[in-house]
Each structure stands twice: as C-alpha cells, then as structure tokens.
C-alpha cells in the first residue's frame, strides 16, 4: 500500500464545532488507490466524504497527514487532478465547447487551436453531446447536459486523477443511468484513475472496482474496502443476475444501515486507520466455504 499511485497517510481533519470547541471529522485515515482503479466512497451525509475529496483536490488542507500522488506529496490544486462537483461549476459565459477547450488549452499549451478543438469535441461526443448543443451556454442546457459537459471537461484534460463528488446527485434516475454508462465508456477508453463519492449503492456497484465504506462521523473511519467481484463490462440490467450482486449489495446495505453507526466515534489513538478488505465471491470454487470471505490486510 505504501507504493500505491495515490496514497493517503494518517489524514486527520479537525473543524471548529461552532460552540468554541472543535471536533475531528476523521483521524489517521489511511488508504491507497492504484493506477487505473475506479474507487467509490460510500457513507452517510456529513461523515466527511467531501472533506477527503477537497483535500485530494488540494482545495483544503488537512489538519495533519499527507496525500501522495506518484510518490510526491500534493499541495494546492493542480491540472493533474480534475474535479467534478454535483453543481456542475461550468463557466456560465462560455459555450459548452469553450468550457472544455479552456481547460484543454491550459493543459496542453503547445497544441494548435484546431487540435484543442478537435480533442474537446471528441470528448463531448463520448458523453453524447454533439451538433448545436456544444455551442450553447450552460443556461441553455438541461441539467443532464451540463453534467455531461463537466465530465467531458474533466476527462479531456487527461488528469492523472479524477475526483467526482456526487456528480449525479441532482439528476433524475433516467438521465443518471445514461450518464453513468457514458462515464464508464470514457473511463474505459482512457484508463484514468477515478475516485468518486456517491451515496447511491447501486451506482457504486455498477461503477467501482472497489468501494470504500465510511462510518458515520464525527471520528469517522474508512472501515472497509469492498471488492466488486463482478466482471466488466457491466450492464445495469444484467449485473443484478450475477451471483455476487446481491451478496455484495446486502453487505453494503447492512454496513450503511447498522455498522456505520456501531463503528462510529472511535478515536484512533494515533494509530494508522486502514480499511479492512472484504472480498465476497460466491463463484469462487476453490474455497471450502462458499459465501462471504473476509480477509484482513
């Protein structure tokens, strides 16, 4: 784990509690993300997911601890890390296309204008935006289209790490489903590393290689890392037929419904807090006892 592409080491965040005191959102949280992995983090509202994300993005500084990417500690925002928030954060005075070319031109300063445009149009196409729509401003686009632009913009910059904070939270279920598929398509084509926050269990199972489960705060912990033992490419209708689907889903539901509360509020006593790996594979014939396998790391 020490050599992970993204390495989070003993991350602690303390905030004022509004009553003159302070509280720890999480203490000594430690985990790694490998290159090319798609990792989702699931946890109840307020447990500290966005706090972790903002630290990874370089938008917030932890009280203590370090985040290393490719072995180097990160400090401040960087074009190496692309961020997509729930509320789109597009520049309202630029067209969809210009919202993408703007970042691409900054990222690749020696590219010609045509190359920047061509590259940006290609990424917009991958998320289903083409024709007149790309010349419209955000106010003239639907919520789903705006979020597609945000995703195209983030991927087009080809950051080493993509950070997505509940990017589909504001979308209706149908649009959400389509954009999840598009996100998977773009990700497959680039093999970028993605770290995504969601509170939607089914979304996390569909998208992730691994799901990090966070307990409730304060003193939240990234308690488990659940392998999604369902082969890709995945399809939202076929995935539920896979023998591991409901076993994994039930585990996640049980964690969020009960254990996230039971495990909450334990101080770290200065110890590195690493998630336990949970590997559920009912198709694993080599095992004596089929069912749920827990192995600690």
Give contact residues for Mg ion (rule: CB under 5 A).
50
DSSP helix/strand/coil, 21: coil
- 4 touches which of Mg ion, ligand ADP, none (CB within 5 to 8 A by kind)? none
Min. distance of Cβ 270 from Mg ion in angstroms?
27
Closer to ligand ADP by Cβ: residue 123 or 195: 195
Confirm or reject binding of residue 51 to ligand ADP (CB under 6 A): yes
- 246 touches which of ligand ADP, Mg ion, none (CB within 5 to 8 A by kind)? none
Work out which of 8, 47, 83, 96 binds ligand ADP, going by CB under 6 A: 47
- 180 touches which of ligand ADP, Mg ion, none (CB within 5 to 8 A by kind)? none
* Position of minimal CB gap to ligand ADP: 50
Using the contact rule CB under 6 A, the part of the chain among 4-12, 41-49, 135-143, 280-288 near ligand ADP is 41-49
Min. distance of Cβ 240 from Mg ion in angstroms?
27
Closer to Mg ion by Cβ: residue 50 or 216: 50
Closer to ligand ADP by Cβ: residue 48 or 138: 48
How many angstroms separate the CA atoms of 179 and 128, rounded? 9
Residues 203-242 that bind ligand ADP (CB under 6 A): 217
DSSP 258: I
Q: Count, in order, helices (H) and strands (E) of the chain.
A: 8, 12
Using the contact rule CB under 6 A, the part of the chain among 38-46, 70-78, 167-175, 273-281 near ligand ADP is 38-46
Min. distance of Cβ 288 from Mg ion in angstroms?
42
Rounded alpha-carbon distances, angstroms, from residue 25 to 11, 48, 181, 192, 223: 10, 6, 33, 29, 14
DSSP 234: -
Using the contact rule CB under 6 A, the part of the chain among 49-57, 137-145, 250-258, 260-268 near ligand ADP is 49-57
Confirm or reject binding of residue 191 to ligand ADP (CB under 6 A): no
- 51 touches which of ligand ADP, Mg ion, none (CB within 5 to 8 A by kind)? ligand ADP
* Position of minimal CB gap to Mg ion: 50
Min. distance of Cβ 11 from ligand ADP in angstroms?
12
Closer to Mg ion by Cβ: residue 46 or 243: 46
Which tokens is 267 given? 């101080």
> Checking DSSP bridges between strand 276-280 and strand 222-227, what pairing results, if any?
parallel
How many angstroms separate the CA atoms of 49 and 106, rounded? 29
Confirm or reject binding of residue 61 to ligand ADP (CB under 6 A): no
DSSP assignment of 50-106 equals: HHHHHHHHTSS--SEEEEEETTEE--S--TTEEEE-TT----TTS-HHHHHHHHHHH
DSSP helix/strand/coil, 23: strand
Closer to ligand ADP by Cβ: residue 47 or 69: 47
CA atoms within 13 A on the CB side of 234: 26
Confirm or reject binding of residue 48 to ligand ADP (CB under 6 A): yes
Please list, in sequence order, all residues whose beta carbon lies within 8 angstroms of the beta carbon of residue 79, skipping any fewer than 6 positions away.
Answer: 103, 106, 107, 157, 159
Packing angle of the helix pair 173-190, 143-156 (nearest 10 deg): 10
Tell me how far the alpha carbon of residue 53 is from its chain's centroid: 8
Residue ranges that bind ligand ADP, judged by CB under 6 A: 15-16, 25, 43, 45-51, 217
């Amino acid at each position: 784990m020490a050599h992970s592409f993204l390495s989070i080491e003993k991350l602690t965040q303390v905030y004022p509690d509004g009553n003159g005191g302070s509280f720890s959102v999480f203490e000594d949280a430690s985990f790694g993300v490998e290159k090319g992995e798609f990792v989702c983090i699931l946890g109840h509202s307020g447990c500290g997911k966005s706090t972790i994300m903002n630290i990874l993005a370089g938008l917030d500084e932890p009280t203590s601890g370090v985040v290393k990417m490719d072995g180097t500690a990160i400090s401040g925002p960087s074009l190496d890390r692309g961020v997509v928030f729930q509320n789109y954060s597009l520049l309202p005075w630029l067209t969809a296309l210009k919202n993408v070319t703007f970042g691409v031109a900054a990222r690749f300063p020696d590219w010609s204008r045509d190359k920047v445009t061509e590259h940006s149009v290609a990424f917009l196409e991958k998320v289903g935006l083409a024709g007149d729509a790309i010349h419209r401003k955000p106010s003239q686009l639907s919520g789903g289209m705006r979020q597609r632009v945000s995703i195209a913009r983030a991927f087009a910059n080809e950051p080493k790490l993509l950070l997505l904070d509940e990017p589909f939270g504001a979308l209706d279920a149908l649009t959400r489903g389509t954009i999840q598929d598009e996100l998977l398509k773009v990700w497959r084509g680039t093999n970028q590393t993605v770290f995504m926050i969601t509170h939607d269990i089914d979304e996390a199972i569909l998208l992730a290689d691994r799901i990090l489960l966070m307990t409730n705060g304060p003193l939240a912990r990234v308690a488990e890392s659940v392998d999604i033992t369902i082969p890709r490419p995945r399809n939202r209708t076929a995935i539920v037929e896979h023998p591991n689907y409901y076993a994994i889903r039930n585990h996640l539901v049980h964690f969020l419904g009960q254990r996230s509360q039971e495990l909450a509020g334990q101080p770290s006593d200065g110890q590195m807090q690493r998630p336990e790996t949970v590997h559920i594979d009912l198709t694993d014939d080599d095992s004596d006892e089929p069912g749920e396998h827990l192995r600690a790391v």
